[in-house]
Amino acid sequence: MVCLLSYPLVQKRGINMQKIIRIARLELSVLFYSPIAWIIMVILFVQCGLNYTDNLYTQETYQQLERPLAVVTRVLFAGEYGMLSSLIEYLYLYIPLLTMSVFSREYTSGSIKLLQSSPVTASQIVLGKYLSIVAYALLIVALLSLYAFSAYYSIAHMDLKFVLSGLFGLFLLICTYAAIGLFMSSLTAYQIVAAISTLTLLAFLNYAPVLGAGYDGLREVTQWLSIGGRAEGIVNGLLTTRDLFYFLLIIAFFLGITILRIVQERAGLSLFKKTLQYVGLALVLSGIGYVSSLPRFNFYYDTTQIKDVTISPAAQAISARITDPIKLVSFVNVLDHKAGYGAPKNRTSDKGRFEGYQRFIPQLQMEYIAYYDSVPHLMLDSNETILSKAQKSAEALGFGFKRLLTPEQMKQYPEIAKESNSFVRYFHYKGQSTPLRMYDDMLQYPGESEISAALLRLLDGPGKIGLLVGHEERSIDNHMESSYSLFLNGNNVRGSVINQGFIVEKITNEKLLDFHGVGLIIADPQKAFSNQELDAIYQYIDRGGNLLLMAEPTGISFLQPIAHKLGLQFVPGTLLQESENFDADLLRVEFTQQAKEEGFKFYDGALVVMNKAMGIERINQDSTFRYTPLLETDSSTTWNKVGPFDLAKEKVHFDERVDSRVGIASAIQLERAVGNHKQKIIVAGDADFLSNAEMSRFNITSVNSSFAMRIFKSFSDGKFPVSGPKEKAPDITIKANRSSINWQKVLFLGVVPLLLGGMATLVLRNRKRK
């Protein structure tokens, strides 16, 4: 074994940095005279090579199959299965083998006593040894950079900065593991004990959040101690000063206590003084860590080329307007099927969903109120009560039952009962509050659009949509197929207008004159309007109010006067469309070119499904409105059927003797300037396109919901829903072909490992010869 005193360099006095570098060079040579360093290097490189080439091969296969690719750089290097993300998961298994002998061999050979009496300070010894492992880490990162080089020529518009920041995160992780391993090695003369101790501590730091997740107070401590998750955050594109300080502080702490230990052995200090020094160091570094982790002192840098882990500019602009303290209170009912998302063990990940906003609203505070109360469709056994069910649920989810609010106590929050006691959050700001819901879809959590809409509602109030009632119009209070409850009143429906910044208010004709919302809906009334009621509607139109007017063939007479007021006419009859798979009265209508120019552009061939629709024609060419047909039937497949028919009893086919094919508008937009306001009116020859039946249709891919939401976005002058354009990822094409990828496999899994093995053999044989 080689000790530091084998070389005269440490016996000479000189500049501190020179001694540190010389010690590092000595330690690095010792490191590479051991086969362990070479073996670890080869294993890491080969494992990364298997991951990288397999992912690249898969993406190239998808491209050949003409499947769309997205953010290929992230797929290859980050995410759930990327090269760097996978490496982070098992890296802690290798570093203990690298650091176990750094100090242990000094204890085994007895040279530690000579070191303590030599003219080399403890700081120089520790920093020199540590610098050698840092150099080894740089070498590992340099080798892994070959994959970044490969990706640069294999992916069109590869996100180089993203990959380099990921490698930087990996480097920080190795350096942190090395500092911990260095300390553990200084505690024992047995290398195996040092390795196992290091492995145990690293495993604890990686899985600490799991251990403390279910306990308030302890959760924050174990989360701060978590080491792997921080590197993963950097690898996935978000570099924060909080994470940088964490790595630097952990490194400083373990190097510091290693230095203290050597100094204390030299000085022969008492246990009390030793403990005092350790505690003092821990307190100082903990204080720095606490301050650096506060949201107001945390700075972020998005390393992705499209700023993919940063909220959109629109969301940032809304967040910038939040200047006072704001609170987000989550109400978690243990009997609700979504309660697990707000369970104590999931609080950290739940809060993480809002970190993108907390980055721009550092004063955002989050609070959780857990309770139990009845929920719709609650299943109870014959001998079970709500109380006993709540106790079981609380125990299963990790809630303390005694800390849950009772149904009686929840009466102080009447707004929660209106949400059916489901998992709901409320933003509270300057005396105002607004709900932020969870949704019954695959994502469950609110996204940027929903969060931004809720914040904007707090600041400016909601966009108010009026629903004219009193003549048996379509309802929003039941779940019948013809009703509008999903789109206009769906609490747990992401695409409902009430979750995108709007509220829906029922309006009678008597109150219409006082209504000043973003728009009014008149949907398929089953009773005629009186002259006085029509006058109220006409006055609303004349003063510039936005309107969505929807009629059915069965109620054409009730809305025809309003259509005439607008210079339009509903054409009597029912539009039918030839189809082998659907009833003839189920129209699949495409958008006109004019509609696309007016902002109703989706994807090529986008369809709106209309059931029992009728055509609309223009009767007044001199109208002050600008006329734009939005949806228009295909004259080659559609005809207008006048007179009664029953598709349940017979199939109806086009009869050229009595029928004529028509290409006619089934939805029209009217626009005009009224003062400083641009009035928008949408007239549709169908009221079912907004119905529950069409919102939940699965046998035809349609854009009914998106079309309807685009209407109300137009009515609100683009304010709601909140949507900020984000740049599309450019790295969506694989330039490498199958042959090139196979050659890369040969290079990374064969040639480079063999070269490393050959170098290791030469170095070790040369060492043995000496």
SS (H, E, C) 512-578: HHHCCCCEEEEECCCCCCCHHHHHHHHHHHHCCCCEEEECCHHHHHHHHHHHHHCCEEECCCEEEEC
| Rounded distance between C-alpha atoms, residue 139 and residue 166, angstroms | 15
Residue 222 has pLDDT above 80, yes or no: no
- Name all contacts of 57-66 with Cβ < 8 Å and 24+ positions apart: 57/738, 57/741, 59/734, 60/734, 60/736, 60/737, 60/738, 60/741, 63/733, 63/734, 64/738
pLDDT reported for residue 12: 41
Residue 568 has pLDDT above 50, yes or no: yes
pLDDT reported for residue 10: 38
pTM of the model: 0.88
> Which sign, positive or negative, has the C-alpha torsion 288, 290, 295, 300?
positive
| Rounded distance between C-alpha atoms, residue 308 and residue 312, angstroms | 9
User: In 3D, which of 702, 698, 696, 627 has the Cα closest to residue 665?
Assistant: 627
Amino acid identity for residue 305 in this structure: Q
| Rounded distance between C-alpha atoms, residue 597 and residue 602, angstroms | 11
| Rounded distance between C-alpha atoms, residue 678 and residue 668, angstroms | 16
Reported as half-sphere exposure (CB side, CA atoms, 13 A), residue 100 has a value of 21
| Rounded distance between C-alpha atoms, residue 228 and residue 438, angstroms | 29
Q: What angle do CA 305, 310, 312 make, to 5 degrees?
A: 100
Task: Give the Cβ contact number of residue 88 at 10 Å.
Answer: 24
| Rounded distance between C-alpha atoms, residue 716 and residue 694, angstroms | 24
The b-or-e profile of 254-267 (16+ CB within 10 A means b, else e) is bbbbbbbbbbbeee
Per residue in 113-150, pLDDT (tens digit) is: 666 666 788 888 899 999 999 999 999 999 999 999 99
The b-or-e profile of 750-765 (16+ CB within 10 A means b, else e) is eebbeebeeebeebee
> Per-residue confidence at 4, pLDDT binned at 50, 70, 90?
very low
pLDDT reported for residue 116: 64
Residue 589 has pLDDT above 70, yes or no: yes
Q: Token pair for residue 663?
A: 């290409």
Per residue in 260-313, pLDDT (tens digit) is: 988 887 777 778 888 888 888 888 988 888 888 887 788 999 999 999 899 999
SS3 462: coil
Residue 5 has pLDDT above 60, yes or no: no
pLDDT reported for residue 565: 94
Mean pLDDT for the chain overall: 90
Residue with tokens 């070389």: 7
Residue 107 has pLDDT above 80, yes or no: no
Residue with tokens 């899994």: 749
| Rounded distance between C-alpha atoms, residue 540 and residue 681, angstroms | 12
Residue 87 has pLDDT above 50, yes or no: yes
Q: Name residues whose C-beta falls within 8 Å of residue 1's C-beta, 6 or more positions apart in sequence.
A: 105, 108, 109, 111
Q: Percent of the chain having pLDDT more than 90?
A: 70
The H or E element that residue 180 is part of is: helix 160-185
pLDDT reported for residue 112: 66
Residue with tokens 């079981």: 392
